[in-house]
Amino acid sequence: MVHTKNRFIRDDFALVHGELTETRRKNETAALVDQVPVYWHKAKDFSIHDEDGNKWIDMTAGIFATNSGHANEKIKQAIQKQLDDDLLFTYQYEHKIRNQFVSKLVDMSPSYLEKAIILNTGSEATDICYKLMKIWAKKNNKKYIICFNGSYHGRGLGSALMCGSKTASDWSNVVDDDVVFLDFPYNEDDKFDSSLLPPKEEIAAFFLETYQGWGACMYPTEYIKELYHFARNVGALVCFDEVQAGFYRMEELYGYMTYGDFIEPDLISLGKGISSSLPVSAVLGKKEIIDIDSTANLNGTHAGNTLCCAAGLANLEFLTDESFQNTLPAKVECFERRSKKLMNYESVSKINCRGMVTGIIFKNTRTANKVVNNCILNGVLPVCTFRESIKLGPPLTITVDAIEEAFDVIEAAIEAAIEQQ
């Protein structure tokens, strides 16, 4: 049995798929990916509980969504107040809570991100970015959007066409020949090479994940600098997919800021941590791009839902409050220090870490999966990618002592995986 302040795992706990999985497989699409068999009953702050009393330190934040912690009290109170106000749905009619949420989002963002489009999911947000970039390209007699192999931007058609994976959009039998892919610069000394690009006068935009999701792979700073200055010199847009990286996941408000203050994106897509709870997303951008076509139909039936806006507003207020901001640097220092220490293990080939996100790249998938299983059996829940990486990104409300405890478990899990080879 595992029993500490932050973890509790019963002796009879086993990693086996149970009745919930079987029911889901029966009633829902087979295209849903099976997660590791941890059955959530309750999630509070940085803890996950199942019905049997097992308790895990959550190092996933629900795949980087609950930045303000699971079931944050201020967010719960805001949702409850909105429920009590008897206003749950308004379509596109004006309502006060939406106005307050959007105003807060725009006001807390850099001044060059002037206007917002409110949506429901990250995939919708990147789809809208695709649409806006295509409209802008057409109006400016340009053509190409530059993306990166290995990237992931969502499940809609527009976002899928920008994913650097053939399987992401093969289902559609649609190919956008105007989306051009570069190889991702995985090595620190990789250089941006403009000779690999189409004619510069035809390049409309660059669309980048702030970090590549599968392994939290960061761009080399010099690479980003060269790309950015090239784009500005040829009159191309620079746009970032911030769905995972936004809202202090990388310590700064938006992750692109960690590459340098010279970057002023034209568009960014936001999701996940924007509400730390209910489904809401957004595109932020420069006024002339957000407003480029008044007939573009950028709204949706549930976009700007009152409950989601109430949750989003409370979340943004929590994240910008001094009481939260003052605790973040110590957590980041601990998280980064313990992450980098994992490079001491021979089975680890690379550590990608910035702020409160880490990608542990192992030498093979088998080792990564063993480490995931060992962590779960000992009360720590990491992100299983089902490939050679493990990702870590806890709720930003996690305590320093819980970070230390989680990494102690992760180190022991790596050592056990080596012995199990």
Per DSSP, the residues of 137-201 read: HHHTT--EEEEETT----SSHHHHHTSS-HHHHGGGT---TTEEEEPP--STT----GGGSS-GG
Residues 27 and 136 in one domain: no
Does residue 34 carry a pLDDT above 80? no
Give the pair of three-digit tokens for residue 377.
């059996």
3-state secondary structure of 44: strand
Q: Provide the phi-psi class of 379: left if phi over 0, else alpha when psi is between -120 and 50, else beta.
A: left
CATH number, domain with residue 39: 3.90.1150.10
Banded model confidence at residue 276, pLDDT cuts 50, 70, 90: very high
Q: Find the radius of gyration of the CA atoms of the chain.
A: 22
Q: What's the rounded mean pLDDT across residues 69-92?
A: 96
**Residue 109 shares a structural domain with residue 180:** yes
The tokens for 198 are: 């189409």
Instruction: Check whether residue 339 and residue 235 sit in a common domain.
Output: no
Q: Assess whether 24 and 108 both reside in one domain.
A: no
Residue where a domain stops, chosen among 272, 300, 322: 322
Which of 369-373's residues contact partners 24+ apart within 8 Å by CB, and which partners? 370/413, 370/416, 370/417, 370/420, 371/410, 371/413, 371/414, 371/417, 372/36, 373/15, 373/36
- Judged by DSSP in three states, 12 sits in coil
Residues 398 and 282 occupy one common structural domain: no
Q: Of 264, 263, 271, which is closest to residue 246 (Cα–Cα)? A: 271
Q: What is the CATH number of the domain that holds 272?
A: 3.40.640.10
**What does the pLDDT read at residue 255?**
98
Tell me: do 364 and 237 sit in the same domain.
no
- With 90 as the cut, is the pLDDT of residue 168 above it? no
Domain boundary among 322, 355, 384: 322
Of 20 and 87, the one with more pLDDT:
87
- What's the pTM value of the predicted model, to 2 decimals? 0.96
Residues 254 and 161 in one domain: yes
**269 — alpha (psi -120 to 50), left (phi > 0) or beta?**
beta
Q: Is the dihedral of CA 91, 97, 103, 109 positive or negative?
A: negative
Cα distance between residue 186 and residue 242, in whole Å: 19
244 in helix, strand or coil? coil
Tell how strand 115-119 and strand 144-148 pair up.
unpaired
19: tokens are 């009745």
- How sure is the predictor about 30, in pLDDT bands with cuts at 50, 70 and 90? confident
pLDDT for residue 36: 86
Please indicate whether residue 99 or residue 154 has the higher confidence score (pLDDT): 99
Same domain, residue pair 307 and 165: yes
- Same-domain check for residues 11 and 113: no
Beta-carbon-side half-sphere exposure of residue 241 (alpha carbons within 13 Å): 28
At 178 the pLDDT is 96
Residues near 341 by beta carbon (within 8 Å), at least 6 away in sequence? 407, 411
Residues 36 and 162 both lie in one domain: no
Mean pLDDT of 120-149: 97
pLDDT for 170: 79
Per-residue pLDDT at 287 exceeds 90? yes
Both tokens assigned to 261? 């203050």
One domain, residues 172 and 138:
yes
Where a domain ends, among 291, 322, 353?
322
* Tally of structural domains, the chain: 2
- The CA–CA distances, whole Å, from 247 to 60, 106, 236 equal 15, 13, 26
Half-sphere exposure of 347 (CA within 13 A, CB side): 21
State how far the alpha carbon of 50 is from the alpha carbons of 47, 238, 379, in Å. 10, 43, 12
DSSP string, 50-99: -TTS-EEEESSHHHHT-TT-BT-HHHHHHHHHHHHTT----TTS--HHHH
pLDDT bucket at 377, cuts 50 / 70 / 90: very high
What counts of helices (H) and strands (E) characterise the chain? 14, 19
Distance (Å, whole) CA 250 – CA 68: 14
The boundaries of the domain holding residue 409 are 2-64+327-419
Q: Do residues 158 and 44 both lie within one domain?
A: no
